[in-house]
Structure 1
C-alpha cells in the first residue's frame, strides 16, 4: 500500500476524483459531462494485472529496441521533435529536457535494478503492436467489449493508439493536456494523477502552440514562479492515486500531471487513446471547445504572420481593453 509521505508536495488545492465500480451507471454520466472518474474493479485490464510485473516484462516484452526516455531529473516533460527545428529557425532557444533512445527490455530492467542516486532516470514508453512480443497475447485478452461500449455510447472516434508505460518510482510526467479521450489503466504499482479542467487553461500557462512543449504547462509545480504565473494560485484541481486494476477516464483537453509514487517501486500502465467524436456546437460552448477554438486561432496567426514573436503583440493589440465589462 502507500501513504501520504510518498506523494510529492505541491502548493495546490485538490479534491478527490470520484471512484466508482466498473458496473456503476453513473460512470457514463461523468463521461457524458466530460468529467474524470476512476473506474475501480475493472475487468478490462485484469489479464495484465494478474501477470505483469518487471520480471514478466523482462521475459515477455520483446522487440529489438523499445522506446526509452532518459532524464537527469525526475521530470519527463514531453516535447515535439518536429517543432525543435522551427524554434531554431526563428531564434528561439530550446534545450530538450530528455533524450530518447532504443533499448532492449533486459537492459532497461537491469538499469532500474542497479539505479542509484545521481544516475539518469529512465521511462519506457512503447506503442503496443505486434513487435513487442508475447505481451500482445495478454493485451488481446482485455475486455475490449467494455471499452467499445463506452466508445459507442459517447460517440467517440476510433481508437488511435495504445501506449505501454514502464516507469521508475518517483518519475513525473509534468502537467499537460491531450486532444484525445483517454482511458488510463494502472496495471502494476501506484500512480498519482492530478487533473485540472479546461476552464483552468489560463491558470496553467501553456507554452505557445509553435513551441516544442506545446500542450505543456510552463509552471514548475515543484517551485512555481508566482511573479511570472500569478493565476496559478487560482488553479483548482482534483486527484486520485490509482491502484492495480483501476482505470482513470481523462477527458479530452483536461490537464493532467502524473507521478509514480516515491519509494513504492516501479509502475506499469497502459493508455487507450480515442479520437474525439463529431463536434456539434451547442451554446454556450463548453470549456474544452473553447480551448480547441483558441488553438485553431493561434495556429492560423502563426501561419499568416510567419514570425511567432508577432503573435502575442497582435493579440494584445486586438484585445487591448476593447472587450472588458
Structure 2
C-alpha cells in the first residue's frame, strides 16, 4: 500500500489541476490533504507514516488522501492555506505567501450533489476546507481528526472501531417488515396490522427497542399529566392568544391535503412552461402534488371559523399545520413538556401545533425527522409504511401545483402549476390504489396506528404515513408534535438509498451495548 501512495505522490500536479481535483473529488469523497510548502517536512513525514498504517481499500471508499504543493491560490487570489498573509506586490506565488505560511493538513468534507433540486447546480471556482489539523503528531489523535471530519469509524491502523462495528450491526438489523402485504389488504384477504402499544417506557428501553430499531410505537396516556389536556378548548385558546396574532392557514377541498392527481385537471396545463431538462428527469411527468391554498388571518378569526363551520359547510377545510407553537402560541408553552424517554437521547428540532375541524386527511408522505405526535383533542389514525425499500412507494420528484381559493365564494380553482417539485410525497393513493400503475406497492407492508387524547406516537424518520383525523365531541382536532434530529438518516429522494446512523449520535451508540 505504501508503494502505491509513493507512486501517486510522485506524480506532480499543476496548481490548476490541484484545484480542479479538489473541486471534483469532494463530491464523492472526504479529502484529507497535506498542503506542503517544502518537501520532506516533519508534517509530511508524519503524513506518509500514518497513511502506511491507515489507508486501505475500505478506507479509500470514503476518504481521499492527497498531497498538494503549497501554497496556491484560488482564482480570486485567496490562499488555500489557513495561515498565510498575502503580499499583493509580487506575482511570484512562492514569494507572495512564503513569509507567513507553513505546511498544513486540512479536511474537505464530502459534499455530494444536491439531489433535492433538478436544476443544475452552479459550479464553484473555490471551496473552503472545514478543518485544519492542530493536534499532536500521533496516530490516535490524527485518526480522530479524520473520523470527525469524514464521519467515519476507523482505528488508527485503518480497521473498524467499536462504534463502527455497532453502527454496521444496527443498520444490518433494520430491514424488518410487518407480515401482511398491502395487496392482500386491498383484496380483503387480510386486515391491517396494528401498532404495538406500551406504557411509561424507561429511557433506555425506548432507545434500545424503538429509536435504534426505527420501530413505531404508541405510548398510551403519555401526556395524561399535561395541563393542556384539561385546559385547551377553542374558547381557552382564543382568549389566551392576543387577538391580533396572525397565523398562516392552509385550505383544501373536502379535507384532503396534498394528494397527487393528473396534471391535465389544471386550468393552466396547456400554457405552462416547465423547463424540459427538469421535466425529462421526472418519473411521473403527468402527475402533480396538490398543495393547499393559503389564507392569512388572526388566530381568533381562525378559531371562530372552526367553531362556526362556515368554511366546512362549503367543503373547505382550514388547517393550522406545520406551525411552531413558540411562534404562534407562545403563551401556552407551560401547558405541555417533552417526554424524558426521548428528550434524553435526541436533539429537539421544533415543536408544532396541528389544529383543524377534525375532518382532514394528510396524504401519503414521509418526514426526515424523528417524530413524537401527541393527541390533545380528538383522534388520528395513521397508516404507515416502512422506509426500507422506498421503491415500493415510488419515492421521486413530483411537480407541485398550488390551489387558488376565493374567500368570497369559498371555492377552489386549479390554476397554479409550479416550477418546483415535491420530494417527500408518494404518487400512490392508498384509498384507491392503482397497482397496474404502481405494481411495486403490492409488496409493501403497512401498519395502522390510532391515537386518542393523551396518547403519543413515536414515528421514526422516513416512515411513510397517511394521517386521517377525527374530531372530538367538541368538533375539533388538536395535536402537538415534537420533531427531532433523526437517529437514522438517508439521502432523498433516492428510492435505493438505505438508512444509516446519524453521525451526530455516534456517542449514543455506546448506550446500546
Common fold, TM-score beyond 0.5? yes
State how 1:116-127 maps to structure 2 within 5 Å: 116-125=312-321, 126-127=323-324
Question: Which digits, 9 at most, give the CA deviation of each residue in 1:85-111, with x for residues without a partner?
Answer: xx9445758574311222212221222
Cα separation, 2, equivalents of 1:186 and 1:59: 21
Cα separation, 1, equivalents of 2:250 and 2:369: 22
Asked if 2 retains the 8 angstrom alpha-carbon contact of 1:36 and 1:251, the reply is yes
Asked if 2 retains the 8 angstrom alpha-carbon contact of 1:13 and 1:236, the reply is no
Aligned: 1:150 with 2:345: no
Q: Where does structure 2 lack aligned partners over 5 or more consecutive residues?
A: 1-184, 261-272, 280-284, 400-419, 498-513
Aligned: 1:97 with 2:275: no
Structure 1 residues 259-268 or 236-245, which shifts more?
259-268
Asked if 1 retains the 8 angstrom alpha-carbon contact of 2:395 and 2:493, the reply is no
Aligned: 1:50 with 2:218: no
Relative to structure 1, is the Cα distance of residues 119 and 209 closer, same or farther in structure 2, using a 3 angstrom cutoff? closer
- SS in structure 2 opposite 1:202? helix
Cα separation, 2, equivalents of 1:178 and 1:218: 16
Report how far residue 151 of structure 1 moved. 3.7
Report how far residue 246 of structure 1 moved. 0.7
Asked if 2 retains the 8 angstrom alpha-carbon contact of 1:20 and 1:27, the reply is no
Structure ranking higher on relative contact order (CA contacts 8 Å, 6+ apart): 1
- SS in structure 2 opposite 1:15? coil
- Give the equivalent residue in structure 1 for 2:267: none
Report how far residue 293 of structure 1 moved. 4.4
Report how far residue 206 of structure 1 moved. 2.3
User: Which of 349, 359, 362 lines up with 1:160 in the alignment?
Assistant: 349
- SS in structure 2 opposite 1:178? coil
Q: Taking structure 2 as the reference length, what is the TM-score of the superposition?
A: 0.46
Report how far residue 68 of structure 1 moved. 0.8
Question: Which digits, 9 at most, give the CA deviation of each residue in 1:250-304, with x for residues without a partner?
Answer: 0011111111127863210011011124xxxxxxxxxx66xx24647999xxxxx
Cα separation, 1, equivalents of 2:215 and 2:315: 38
Question: Which digits, 9 at most, give the CA deviation of each residue in 1:222-261, with x for residues without a partner?
Answer: 3222221112222221112111111100001111111112
Question: Which digits, 9 at most, give the CA deviation of each residue in 1:141-160, with x for residues without a partner?
Answer: x343x34x52434xx3x211
Relative to structure 1, is the Cα distance of residues 109 and 151 closer, same or farther in structure 2, using a 3 angstrom cutoff? closer
State how 1:232-243 maps to structure 2 within 5 Å: 232-243=441-452
- Give the equivalent residue in structure 2 for 1:41: 221
Which structure has the greater CA radius of gyration?
2
- Give the equivalent residue in structure 2 for 1:106: 300
- Give the equivalent residue in structure 1 for 2:372: 183
Aligned residues: 263
User: Which of 393, 397, 418 lines up with 1:208 in the alignment?
Assistant: 397
Cα separation, 1, equivalents of 2:251 and 2:237: 19
Cα separation, 2, equivalents of 1:182 and 1:293: 18
Question: Which digits, 9 at most, give the CA deviation of each residue in 1:102-144, with x for residues without a partner?
Answer: 2212221222222444331111122111553522332xxx343
- Give the equivalent residue in structure 2 for 1:60: 240
- SS in structure 2 opposite 1:166? strand
Report how far residue 13 of structure 1 moved. 4.8
Cα separation, 1, equivalents of 2:376 and 2:479: 5
- Give the equivalent residue in structure 2 for 1:271: 481
- Give the equivalent residue in structure 1 for 2:358: 169
Asked if 1 retains the 8 angstrom alpha-carbon contact of 2:317 and 2:359, the reply is no
- Give the equivalent residue in structure 2 for 1:5: none
Question: Which digits, 9 at most, give the CA deviation of each residue in 1:160-203, with x for residues without a partner?
Answer: 11110002222011111111111111111111111111124122
- SS in structure 1 opposite 2:388? helix
Asked if 1 retains the 8 angstrom alpha-carbon contact of 2:378 and 2:471, the reply is no
State the Cα RMSD in Å: 3.1
Question: Which digits, 9 at most, give the CA deviation of each residue in 1:4-60, with x for residues without a partner?
Answer: xxxxxx838521111111236754412221100101121477121121122222222
